[in-house]
Amino acid sequence: MASLAPKGSQRWLQTAVNREQKLLAEALRNSGALAKGASITWAAPLECHGYAEHRDEAALAGAGIEPARLKVPLCAFWPKGGPRWDAEGKYSDGAAVFVEAKSHVSELNSNPTGARDPKAAALIRESLQQARKHYARAASIDWGHPFYQYVNRLAHHYWLTKLNGQKSRLVFLYFLNDHDMGGPSSVQEWRAAIEVLHLALGLPSDMSRFGVFDAFLDVRPLQAGAIA
């Protein structure tokens, strides 16, 4: 049997998906990402699959998205080896859901792309620019530098929903009270950090009209499941 990650957002998300789905569903429902009466079938990270996380076509398959339904193939938007999703699944109405999880504020900042191939780097820059115009039309900041991990998740959501017309939700899941990682203890602390990030990127505070949601989950009720 696979072991949970030793600490951080990876450990708590693995616990939530595999052992505390009701708590996870409640957090998503409170964020607006999950409607009342709806449910999610998670495809990753599953204990029975060694808590594997997926990227590219494997992540799309886990979320129930068939390549034949795509007008713009992924390879035309992003080079191979795109984001490795913390979790993905499918809603009971057939819509996809992708999750990026964090347990401390410093995780919001990330290095720019490490793509060494000039064609791959150029494709990433072009796709990030397209996504920026969609989410933050008035912004002029280069989305390829600060907060790269955050914006590349937004870019993939844009590709899936805007360019391909697929039903999908993107959830940024923020854990509370992860004291081992020095994480925030309140939603207000997280929201303050997220607001700074959004201001820097030219994004609106509320991204729900784009199908993007911020969810918050306290790790304390997850602790029993993490040691079970």
DSSP the chain: -PPPPSSHHHHHHHHHHHH-HHHHHHHHHHHTSS-TT--EEEEES-GGGTT--EEHHHHHHHTT--GGG-SS-GGGTS-SS--EESEEEEETTS-EEEEEEESSGGGG--PPP---SHHHHHHHHHHHHHHHHHH-TT--S-TTSTTHHHHHHHHHHHIIIIIT---EEEEEEEEE--GGGT--SSHHHHHHHHHHHHHHHT--S--GGGTEEEEEEESGGGHHHHH-
Q: What is the CA radius of gyration of the chain?
A: 17
Instruction: Give the CA distances from residue 86 to residues 9, 33, 43, 121, in Å, rounded to whole numbers and listed in that order.
Output: 9, 16, 11, 23
Share of the chain above pLDDT 90, in %: 89
pLDDT in tens, 72-119: 999 999 999 999 999 999 999 999 999 999 999 999 988 777 677 899
When pLDDT is averaged across residues 170-180 and rounded to a whole number, the result is: 98
Largest CA distance in the chain: 50
When pLDDT is averaged across residues 121-126 and rounded to a whole number, the result is: 94
When pLDDT is averaged across residues 190-204 and rounded to a whole number, the result is: 96
pLDDT in tens, 41-63: 999 999 999 999 999 999 999 99
When pLDDT is averaged across residues 218-223 and rounded to a whole number, the result is: 96
When pLDDT is averaged across residues 168-185 and rounded to a whole number, the result is: 98
Give this prediction's pTM: 0.96
Confidence of residue 215 (pLDDT cuts 50, 70, 90): very high
pLDDT at position 136 is 94
Decide if pLDDT at 152 tops 70. yes
CB 131 within 8 A of CB 155: yes
Q: Which of 51-55, 135-139, 149-153, 163-167 has the lowest mean pLDDT?
A: 135-139
pLDDT in tens, 140-151: 788 877 799 999
pLDDT at position 38 is 97
* Residue that wins the pLDDT comparison between 138 and 59: 59
pLDDT at position 107 is 93
**Other beta carbons less than 10 A from residue 114's beta carbon:** 8
Q: Any idea what the Cα angle at residue 84 is, between residues 214 and 16, rounded to 5°?
A: 50
Confidence of residue 228 (pLDDT cuts 50, 70, 90): low
Give the chain's mean pLDDT.
94
